[in-house]
Amino acid sequence: MTVGETLRPSYLTLANGAEVMDEFEDRRSRFIAQLVHVSSEAEANAFIEKVRSRHHDARHNVPAWVLADGRERCSDDGEPSRTAGMPTLEVLHGAGLKDVCCVVTRYFGGTLLGPGGLVRAYTAATQAAVEAAHASDSVVEMTLVTRVVVQIPYSAYDRLTRMVADAGGRVRDSVFAEDVQLTCAFHTGDEEAFVTAVTDFANGDDICHVGEPGFAEF
């Protein structure tokens, strides 16, 4: 970070609709990690049940999820205490991922791995899924974004779009009717300069409707 820059609040997650899988094998036991984006506890639980149905014949389906609001949960699903769910959750923490759920399915290979072996296996499987998510460009950054809606005459369209770009924003939508309605997105804080410039352009009229900040892909 250079002098003068501010650190923007952000976190990493998986793109909506993406599901990434990878696996790790140790002494014929297969550990299949399945990683998805979720936005609520209900979505996490629904995915966990989906995986359990998909792998109904597996010995264990170990879930871990973490949400952007700070809630998180994991389960060992019958494995020895703290050898499965916690290692899976710790990989998600280490990767900076939020709003994600990972379920690691274990097919028993006939050999007991011991607590240390289980920790290593669940960790390795989850790490493999996270690496696969990065490799497939399924990981996206969520930053604090503020949306601004402004209605302008057609003659001002080109000028206003340049003003959006000058303030570091992006035009998300343009509705062409009697006038033009622009929906713009800014890193929270950057919208202030844009609103000031638009108000000056409109001779003091407040024509910007500023939304509440929220995390979104920018």
Burial class (CB in 10 A: 0-12, 13-18, 19+), 44: buried
C-alpha 58: how far from its chain's center?
28
* Length, in residues, of the chain: 218
Q: Is residue 183 predicted with pLDDT exceeding 60?
A: yes
Query: How many CA atoms does the CB half-sphere of 27 hold within 13 Å?
Result: 10
Which residues are CB-contacts of 77 (< 8 A; sequence separation ≥ 6)? 60, 61, 62, 63, 84, 85
Mean pLDDT over all residues of the chain? Answer: 93
Given this model, what pLDDT does residue 7 score?
A: 62
Q: What distance in Å separates the CA atoms of residue 131 and residue 114, rounded to the nearest whole number?
A: 26
Indicate the domain borders of the chain.
Answer: 10-137, 141-217
**CATH 3.30.230.30 describes domain 10-137:** yes
How far apart are the two ends of the chain, measured CA to CA in Å?
19
CA angle 179, 181, 185 (to 5 degrees): 160
pLDDT in tens, 152-171: 999 999 999 999 999 999 99
Given this model, what pLDDT does residue 134 score?
A: 97
CATH numeric code, 141-217: 3.30.70.240
**What pTM does this model have?**
0.78
Q: Region 130-153: what's the mean pLDDT? A: 95
Q: Is residue 66 predicted with pLDDT exceeding 90?
A: yes
pLDDT in tens, 12-65: 999 998 999 999 999 999 999 999 999 999 999 999 999 999 999 999 999 999
Q: Is residue 2 predicted with pLDDT exceeding 80?
A: no
Given this model, what pLDDT does residue 217 score?
A: 86
Helix (H, G, I), strand (E, B) or coil at 57: coil
Given this model, what pLDDT does residue 189 score?
A: 93
Given this model, what pLDDT does residue 6 score?
A: 52
Q: Is residue 190 predicted with pLDDT exceeding 80?
A: yes
8 Å CB contact between 36 and 129: no
In order, the DSSP letters of 129-165 are HHHHHHHTT-EEEEEEEEEEEEEE-GGGHHHHHHHHH
